[in-house]
Amino acid sequence: MQFKPHPQASVLLLEPENHAELKLYRDILSQEFPEMRLLLAGSQEEAHQLAPTATALLCKAHHVKDSLLAAMPHLDWIQALTTGVDAILALTLPPSVTLTSARGIHGPQMSELALLQMMSLARDFPRMLHNQQQANWKRWPQRLLLSKTVAIVGIGAVGRELARRCAVFGMRVIGVSDAVTTAEHFNEILPRTQLTDAANRADFMILLVPYSADTRHLVDARILQAMKPGSFLINNARGPVVDEQALLAALKNGPMAGAALDVFNNEPLDPNSPLWQMPNVIITPHIGGLSDCYAEQLMPMLIDNLRSYIAGHAPAHNLVPLR
């Protein structure tokens, strides 16, 4: 792959969700790269107006549209400000474009969400909130994370960070991965062929795998039926990693006790989905990767990749192979 220098790069940064972060990007990147032409867009409309002169696009994967790509005749680099890039890979990409992701920065927020989900499921926190609204004083034994077994399916940066935090809570940590055989804070690591074994032993099974043809319906009826009685499933990966119809049946009939779901087959989740009404389900609106310091988390990786781009070098971080 050939890379050319861009001494006076023209970079379009699209951030329609958080205008405060857009200002932060402007302040830091303008100071770091005074010769770079930074084009800031707070909406798709602004992005389309600025697109024709830009050679690089920085934005979250779900904000990239075919129409925007078509308006960028000089585009040769897309820096996704998200870990997942499947939304970009589904588009018609220019043949010479380079794609990089933000993989590796989401460990803190994803881990904290998983811990929140585990404790909320274990202690039946939604029931506590309901009782508070009804001024209803009810108590019951509180289930601890201490000595429970968690199976983390997918051992990337997030999985490793989560394992470290689970170990602090005194949990036994099983990993499931075909790419990793040993990692710190994991008591053992199993291949995906032994996912049923992990499901049968785990009090909590947490999904963190990237979405691909290999992981579509990785958790199907067979895996769900293998889950330990009274256990919980947490999906923070992608919706189609779980067979949603099989999940609905398992939530109604067991053996699992419940689930926490941050991702779904179709998002936003249909208001008519039966998942909304299930008392043993906690739903969050795909917030696992979000944080109140997202731009600051991104900045070191973003600056390194911009330096590489301007100098004509291969990306310093997270080059995504294109099919």
| 185 located within any domain | yes
> Which residue range forms the structural domain that includes residue 200?
107-283
Task: For residue 86, give the CATH number of its domain.
Answer: 3.40.50.720
Task: Please tell me whether residues 165 and 195 are part of one structural domain.
Answer: yes
Task: Please tell me whether residues 140 and 255 are part of one structural domain.
Answer: yes
| 59 located within any domain | yes
Predicted local confidence at residue 193, as pLDDT:
97
Task: Find out whether 25 and 13 touch, Cβ atoms under 8 Å.
Answer: yes
Q: What is the three-class DSSP state of 20? A: helix
Predicted local confidence at residue 9, as pLDDT:
95
Helix (H) or strand (E) holding 40: strand 37-41
Q: What is the mean pLDDT of the chain?
A: 96
Task: Please tell me whether residues 69 and 186 are part of one structural domain.
Answer: no
Identity of the residue numbered 204: F
> Per-residue confidence at 78, pLDDT binned at 50, 70, 90?
very high
| 33 located within any domain | yes
Phi, psi torsion values for 166, nearest 5 degrees: -65, -40
Task: Please tell me whether residues 97 and 111 are part of one structural domain.
Answer: no
> Per-residue confidence at 2, pLDDT binned at 50, 70, 90?
confident
Give DSSP secondary structure letters for 48-69: HHHGGG-SEEEE-GGG--HHHH
192: annotated active-site residue: no
Q: Is the pLDDT of residue 258 over 80?
A: yes
Task: Please tell me whether residues 68 and 159 are part of one structural domain.
Answer: no
Task: Please tell me whether residues 190 and 210 are part of one structural domain.
Answer: yes
> Per-residue confidence at 161, pLDDT binned at 50, 70, 90?
very high
| 316 located within any domain | no
Task: Please tell me whether residues 147 and 25 are part of one structural domain.
Answer: no
32: annotated active-site residue: no
| 2 located within any domain | no
Quick one: CA dihedral 137, 138, 139, 143, positive or negative? negative
Task: Please tell me whether residues 70 and 213 are part of one structural domain.
Answer: no
| 118 located within any domain | yes
Task: Find out whether 251 and 223 touch, Cβ atoms under 8 Å.
Answer: no
Residues 101-115, buried b or exposed e (16+ Cβ, 10 A)?
A: bbbebbbebbbebbb
The stretch 245-261 carries a mean pLDDT of 97
Task: Please tell me whether residues 42 and 165 are part of one structural domain.
Answer: no
Task: Please tell me whether residues 151 and 92 are part of one structural domain.
Answer: no
The catalytic position among 267, 296, 313, 317 is 267
Task: Please tell me whether residues 216 and 123 are part of one structural domain.
Answer: yes
Predicted local confidence at residue 74, as pLDDT:
96
The 10s digit of each residue's pLDDT in 107-158 is 999 999 999 999 999 999 999 999 999 999 999 999 999 999 999 999 999 9
- pTM summary value: 0.93
Q: For residue 150, is it left (φ>0), alpha (ψ between -120 and 50) or beta?
A: beta
164: annotated active-site residue: no
Predicted local confidence at residue 93, as pLDDT:
94
Tally of domains in the chain: 2
173 Cβ partners below 8 Å, 6+ apart? 149, 150, 152, 163, 166, 167, 185, 186, 187
Task: Please tell me whether residues 132 and 278 are part of one structural domain.
Answer: yes
The 10s digit of each residue's pLDDT in 28-67 is 999 999 999 999 999 999 999 999 999 999 999 999 999 9
